[in-house]
């Protein structure tokens, strides 16, 4: 009975999907290779070297330029996930048990890909430095918060800002393990995971219905992916770009306290405005498909 409850728990469901997606081939982004490829046409070799060894912000790369590069990556990933989603929608009702879980994992995998790319552009550290299949708790925590931002939750926005503030003030090259796993950020991680598990269940059901009719289901599934993935990626980009961590001119004050409460206990999950401007979906910039 206890095991069944754990499976039905939205929080556990989300973490299970996230872990499964993180193990899919091609989901993990090599930070060094990605930054070198993404910045090659825009920056000098010295800027690229410093961006890799330290951060793009430390290399003096402006947020405006990073926004341009980020939009290229978003267009690339959006086109890719939409095409794959449409293909997964083709089989029809007899393949529902196989295609619905696969499509969800594929969708989450592409969310992970764009989350990593945006994080690396806006000066977050390597999230998958370990070559093993496992994902450490701090990485799980920050990815959960990134997904929360993508889904428009105010608590996740505040928590990501707090984590970024800790790293900026400490000039850290690693995630703040304690805060994300048992400190003041952790309750927000758990709250976000429960909310995301519930939302993913609703989205999975909607996609399942769309696939019940072959061909038409493919169009609906691909369109649904495009209409959700693109604004979520844009939302995360906007939030990360606005943090001091991404700003080359930001100078962290010394001696500030980096711990404390993140949000009020009455904070609720409010969906963000899904209408995001400058969402150009017509052209896909060339990117190394291995990244």
pLDDT digits (tens, 9 = 90+) for 194-223: 999 888 776 655 554 444 445 444 444 555
H-type alpha helices, the chain: 2-8, 10-22, 31-39, 45-53, 63-88, 96-121, 137-150, 154-170, 177-181, 186-210, 216-241
Report long-range pairs for 23-26 (Cβ below 8 Å, ≥24 apart).
Answer: 23/133, 24/105, 24/106, 24/109, 26/109, 26/113, 26/290
User: What does the alpha-carbon distance between residue 175 and residue 266 come to, in Å, rounded to a whole number?
Assistant: 27
pLDDT at 70: 97
| Phi then psi dihedrals of residue 199, to 5 deg | -65, -40
CB-count burial class (<10 Å; 0-12, 13-18, 19+) for 284: middle
In this predicted model, what pLDDT tens digit does every residue of 151-170 receive, in sequence order? 999 999 999 999 998 887 76
User: What does the alpha-carbon distance between residue 16 and residue 22 come to, in Å, rounded to a whole number?
Assistant: 10
pLDDT at residue 97 tops 70: no
Contact 104, 88 (CB under 8 A): no
Q: What are the angstrom distances between the C-alpha of 220 and each of 60, 94, 209, 233?
A: 43, 17, 10, 20
User: What does the alpha-carbon distance between residue 7 and residue 42 come to, in Å, rounded to a whole number?
Assistant: 47
> Helix, strand, or coil here: 289?
coil
pLDDT at residue 259 tops 80: no
Given pLDDT bands bounded at 50, 70 and 90, which one contains residue 25? confident
Q: Which residue has the higher pLDDT, 124 or 87?
A: 124
Given pLDDT bands bounded at 50, 70 and 90, which one contains residue 178? confident
């Amino acid at each position: 009975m206890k095991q069944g409850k754990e499976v039905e728990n939205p929080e556990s469901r989300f973490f299970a999907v996230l872990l499964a997606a993180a193990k899919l081939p091609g989901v993990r982004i090599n930070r060094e290779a990605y930054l070198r490829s993404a910045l090659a046409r825009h920056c000098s070799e010295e800027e690229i070297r410093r961006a890799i060894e330290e951060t793009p912000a430390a290399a003096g790369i402006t947020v405006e330029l990073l926004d341009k590069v980020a939009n290229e990556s978003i267009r690339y990933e959006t086109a890719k996930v939409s095409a794959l989603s449409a293909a997964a929608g083709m089989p029809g009702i007899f393949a529902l048990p196989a295609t619905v879980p696969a499509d969800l994992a594929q969708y989450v995998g592409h969310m992970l890909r764009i989350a990593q790319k945006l994080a690396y552009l806006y000066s977050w550290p390597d999230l998958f430095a370990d070559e093993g299949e496992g994902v450490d708790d701090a990485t799980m925590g920050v990815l959960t918060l990134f997904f929360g931002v993508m889904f428009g939750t105010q608590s996740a926005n505040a928590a990501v800002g707090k984590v970024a503030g800790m790293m900026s003030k400490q000039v850290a090259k690693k995630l703040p393990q304690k805060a994300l796993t048992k400190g003041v950020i952790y309750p927000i991680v758990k709250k976000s995971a429960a909310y995301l598990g519930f939302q993913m269940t609703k989205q999975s059901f909607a996609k399942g219905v769309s696939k019940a009719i072959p061909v038409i289901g493919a169009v609906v599934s691909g369109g649904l992916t495009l209409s959700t993935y693109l604004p979520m990626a844009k939302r995360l980009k906007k939030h990360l770009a606005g943090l001091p961590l991404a700003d080359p001119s930001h100078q962290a004050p010394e001696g500030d306290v980096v711990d404390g409460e993140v949000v009020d206990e009455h904070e609720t999950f409010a969906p963000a405005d899904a209408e995001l401007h400058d969402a150009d979906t017509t052209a896909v910039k060339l990117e190394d498909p291995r990244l």
